[in-house]
Amino acid sequence: MNKTAATFCRLKAKKSNLPSQGSVFLAALAREGRLQVRRRGDLLNPLVFFALVVVLFPLGISPTEEILAPVAPGVLWVAALLAVLMSLDALFRPDLMDGSLEQQQLSGYSLAALAMAKLAVHWLLTSLPLILLSPFLGIMLYLPWEAQGVLLLSLLLGSLALSLVGGIGAALTAGLGKSGVLMTLLVLPFYIPVLIFGTGAMQTAISGGNALPHLALLGALAALALTLAPWAIAAGLRITLSGE
């Protein structure tokens, strides 16, 4: 009995020396920040894509205000959606290839929390610059000043939902090599409500209406994705690892 109690005490002491979940999450944030900053091309490609689509669009139809102003919300939102989708294609693949994803699963810490650390850094370094650039591109499309604030807020909420939902597709397709088309087919149906409410908020603001209902729905979608997506991403990563 004394031997069993001593063994239990040693195991408990060993477990207590392990880092807490919070400290591991912060360490994962720092690690992801360093890794993603080193891959500058992966960070710049979505931003350049977003800017090029918006800049080239007036050249493809007409640079006049009468034509561009009505379609500005749709152009900005579709370009942002595609840029976010493009940036998520290889989100988990490097960790899967070098074995660190398997080590994270075996570590005993929450895989959902570790995946959220990666997504948080990715959103800060990819989607946030895109959001800050959008008002300048909106000016090129003759977007009214009164709609600029709605544009920023709608992209802020919408890009969060897009990144979280896209993370599920990235987790499920991480082991399939170049899987951009498959991931697009998986997540695009879930992107459509975000696109509808985002463009609806901007169009309402342009017409002088109240955009708060559309923004509230975007916020609800972002909150729902923030609640459910981490567990879905963790499940997708376990499925991917089990197939390796």
Dump pLDDT digits (tens) for 133-146: 999 999 999 998 88
Three-state SS letters, the chain: CHHHHHHHHHHHHHHHCCCCHHHHHHHHHHHHHHHHHHCHHHHHHHHHHHHHHHHHHHHHCCCCHHHHHHHHHHHHHHHHHHHHHHHCCCCCHHHHHHCHHHHHHHCCCCHHHHHHHHHHHHHHHHHHHHHHHHHHHHHHCCCCHHHHHHHHHHHHHHHHHHHHHHHHHHHHCHHHCCCHHHHHHHHHHHHHHHHHHHHHHHHHHHCCCCCHHHHHHHHHHHHHHHHHHHHHHHHHHHHHHHCC
For position 59, what pLDDT does the model report? Answer: 87
In the predicted structure, residue 166 carries a pLDDT above the cut 70: yes
Per the structure, the count of domains in the chain is 1
For position 165, what pLDDT does the model report? Answer: 93
Residue 14 inside a domain? The answer is no
pLDDT bin (cut points 50, 70, 90) of residue 198 is very high
Residue 9 inside a domain? The answer is no
Residue 160 inside a domain? The answer is yes
For position 89, what pLDDT does the model report? Answer: 78
Residue 11 inside a domain? The answer is no
Give the structural domain span for 173: 20-242
Residue 3 inside a domain? The answer is no
